[in-house]
Structure 1
């Protein structure tokens, strides 16, 4: 993200329909530039559906998603990046780290040759991981790298971190990543389980399937 861009995303009683049952029950939340919004909910497809709605990639069956006060799916699609969303933007765990990072660098509009990947890993003191399978990298590092690169894509103003706790590990690792990105001016939505929210000792103001 180049500089500070104010953005306000308002998810208002959004529902998403499935073939046989609702994908997402009515859910409301707000996200602002420079802030982290935590949304708690049980694991399942609902968190994928909510992330896709926030990013303008699914049309709600009811309710609406506003960006700066208006319904503008095209802007949401440009402005919101989905970080590690299962089945959507989640990297293939069997790929080597160098391949995953090369693709993420390219998406961010940055040079993505092998030497550029080596440079990125060197900056993060992780050069020895270049040939490792992505799934073998500690969960906290995976989330940090994916979020950092997604946040640097041209035009991105907001990020959705989709259940980073599904890989286990210390929740404070991805929580600190989220706050670091918010400090850069991004609006950051983090979806996690109620158990993770309790570990973080963070009050739950937004719940999936429970409108405020």
Structure 2
């Protein structure tokens, strides 16, 4: 699967999202730099087929098919859109996501899922208190349980704090499992990843979106 955004923008004169071009595809993790409160979520909505841009085009595998994008691309943890309610327990989030995936969501299934992920110790904690890396791992692993999901758009994982290299490693490993991954985060995360990544994040304009590709990860 390949998703391509070409000169997409939102708002008058690109006030909400400036004209942006990027692509992400199966087997690769792409890092997209976007700052301000709204832009990461807006870009995530467009990149997952859930919002129509005011300008530009969005293609999946060479064609225009927003329904296919919504079916195949999961939007992860986007503020005010797809983030879990802050007071829901980790176990509650798991139960809900298992239900969305059409899988058993009873207590035994929830506990087994958390045990498989090594997250049983935080099952009764509110999702808002989950350590950032564990939150990202939980939400992404639950998303790929959904039927037909072959791509993930993860929005602003940096807002939860923690080490960006940790969630970037999760993104890269998901790509190695043949998912198409787009991570949208800010300049500070780009700088941190740039210090150690094999393929550096560009130091161009704040809202330029630059892919980081690496397929043979250890």
- In the superposition, the TM-score normalised over structure 1's length comes to 0.90
Once the two structures are superposed, the pairs formed by residues 119-138 of structure 1 within 5 Å of their partners are 119-138=112-131
In structure 2, what is the Cα distance between the partners aligned to 1:91 and 1:14?
27
The answer to whether structure 1 residue 185 and structure 2 residue 178 are counterparts is yes
Question: Which of residues 161, 164, 168 is equivalent to 1:171?
Answer: 164
Q: Which residue of 1 aligns with 2:83?
A: 90
Q: How does 1:1-212 map to 2 (within 5 A)?
A: 7-17=1-11, 22-201=15-194, 202=197, 203-205=200-202, 209-210=207-208
CA distance in structure 2 between the partners assigned to 1:210 and 1:26 by the alignment: 9
The two structures have a TM-score, normalised by structure 2, of 0.88
Q: CA deviation at 1:209?
A: 4.1
8 Å contact kept, 1:96–1:130 = yes
Q: CA RMSD in A?
A: 1.9
> How far does residue 109 in structure 1 lie from its aligned partner after superposition?
2.2
- Contact map agreement 1:26 1:210 (CA 8 A) in 2: no
Aligned residues: 205
Q: CA deviation at 1:211?
A: 7.3
Structure 2 segments unaligned to the other structure (5+ residues): 211-218
